[in-house]
Amino acid sequence: PPTIEIRTLGPIEVVGAEALEEGRQSLATELLVYLATHPGGVHPVVLGGVLWPRGVQAMVRDATIARVADWLGKDEDGEPHLFADDAGRLRLGPGVRTDWALFRELVRRSHGDPTARAVLLDRALGLVRGPLLFGRPPGRYAWLAADELEYDVAAGVADAAHRLCEIRLADGDPDGAVAAVRAALLLAADDEGLWRDLLKATHATGDQARLRAVVDGLDRRSASHPYGGGMAPETEALIDELLPTWRIHVVRESTA
């Protein structure tokens, strides 16, 4: 097991390392998150551009890297958790792991093990605690805008939930299917494919009141979305199929 775990699938947490003084914790954590999500290694100059997009003196950059290396310390073999490889790229050792890396490993194993697939996918979704890197300080993590991490994580979580939802529906466990989708919606709340899975799973419970609540929630969400546009046609078509009276209900509410 890793000595240090970086939790990114929800509020940011670094488990296994003592807290730094308040003024240095956020920058050190961001540096750690960036290295952990770019395991191929990152040159210090590139890292400087990422963490200080407006520029930084090499002395300040190198002192910050050294401080984080001291903070992480060494593994049980005496090797530093943060080190530079032969090409000068900064890397994290095997004693540091992200929950996202564990998530991907569990999903990878699920592809090759049909008997344990549902258990492995459930374990993966159990790592999701909220939106990616939730609570990150304003002005930090600007690199996310040009990085594939947010898309990759949202897509991976949604896909795992979709697969587990289908398995549980096939096994006659609609409540388990609902739970799988709701776990993913904590992170990928704007994924309408997940909402369609939730509609199908809730319908399979036979509880019309629960289905109505999901439809109402989705309708309110689409109406208040900052980019507008409402629901996708396939989502509306699915609701028409599962709850034919929903449009009457919506019209009544809007004219009340």
Residue spans per domain, the chain: 4-97
Distances (CA, A) of 202 to 11, 131, 170, 205, 239: 28, 23, 14, 5, 12
125-167 pLDDT tens trace: 999 999 999 999 988 999 999 999 999 999 999 999 999 999 9
- Model pLDDT, residue 222: 82
106-110, 175-179, 213-217: which has the minimum mean pLDDT? 213-217
Binned at pLDDT 50, 70 and 90, residue 226 comes out as low
Report the top-level CATH class of 4-97: mainly alpha
Q: How many CA within 13 A on the CB side of residue 204?
A: 20
Contact 54, 67 (CB under 8 A): no
Average pLDDT of the chain is 92
Residue 211 has pLDDT above 80, yes or no: yes
- Stretch 226-240: mean pLDDT, rounded? 82
Residue 5 has pLDDT above 90, yes or no: yes
Measured CA angle at 224 (ends 219, 229), to 5 deg:
75
Contact 131, 116 (CB under 8 A): no
Q: Give the C-alpha separation, 29 to 20, whole Å.
A: 10
Measured CA angle at 63 (ends 58, 69), to 5 deg:
130
Binned at pLDDT 50, 70 and 90, residue 256 comes out as very low
Q: How many CA within 13 A on the CB side of residue 118?
A: 13
Please state, for a pLDDT cut of 90, what percent of the chain lies above it. 81
Between 116 and 251, where is the model more confident? 116
Task: Point out which residues pair with 97 in neighbouring strands.
Answer: 5
- Stretch 25-37: mean pLDDT, rounded? 95
What is the model's pTM? 0.91
